[in-house]
Chain A
Amino acid sequence: IAGITQAPTSQILAAGRRMTLRCTQDMRHNAMYWYRQDLGLGLRLIHYSNTAGTTGKGEVPDGYSVSRANTDDFPLTLASAVPSQTSVYFCASSQESSNQPQHFGDGTRLSIL
């Protein structure tokens, strides 16, 4: 079944550790996105990529980095995790970075202690 796969599903991490959240899509979508979702707040864009080889900063990029070496993969790295990065992280993709609907992965629940 075509879609977006995120890994891990959940993770508990000690503060200061490095962590990479994986995201892979098989829909050949050009645009990909990373969001965090916190209780009482809307989804907030961390980083995005309009096409393979390019990335951009979203609303809350500090403490996170991404890469887009190919169309399918868009990993998100926390270089040195802090407790305020405890959140649910969603990866999404869309055909183009325009008015096409975004398709979401199942999310990664990350707790930083």
Chain B
Amino acid sequence: GQNIDQPTEMTATEGAIVQINCTYQTSGFNGLFWYQQHAGEAPTFLSYNVLDGLEEKGRFSSFLSRSKGYSYLLLKELQMKDSASYLCAVLDSNYQLIWGAGTKLIIKP
């Protein structure tokens, strides 16, 4: 079966750095997405990785290792507005997105 694993919840301090991990087992791989979802709102696109390595976009970076079936989202200089759920999703061999349950990130002052 297909499986995406993420921690259910994480807590971090304003101004700090946090790393949210995602491991996957899917039938084929055509890329990995990270989305942000604030409570009661729609998911919004953060990043896309298809090749191994680190993609940096401002305070957010995403890393991929295809051989390990592993990705992480790194958030720097945390702000209160970063409190949200972060969703990892893998594009499988049929180009359908398989979604993780999401990681709820709580930022404390």
Bound complex: CA of A61 vs CA of B43, how far in Å? 21
Q: Pick the residue among B4, B44, B50, B87 that contacts A99 (CB under 8 A).
A: B50
With most chain A CB atoms within 10 A of its CB, the pick from B4, B48, B95 is B95
Counting contact residues on chain A (CB < 8 A from B), the size range is 10 to 19
A-B contact count (CB 8 A): 46
Residue of A nearest to B47 (CB): A101
Q: Are B101 and A41 in contact (CB under 8 A)?
A: yes
Q: Are A90 and B30 in contact (CB under 8 A)?
A: no
Q: Pick the residue among A42, A98, A105 that contacts B101 (CB under 8 A).
A: A42
Given A42-B4, A42-B87, A102–B45 Cβ distance below 8 Å?
yes
Q: What residues make up the interface of A, taking CB atoms closer than 8 Å to B? A: 40-45, 48, 58, 90, 97-99, 101-107
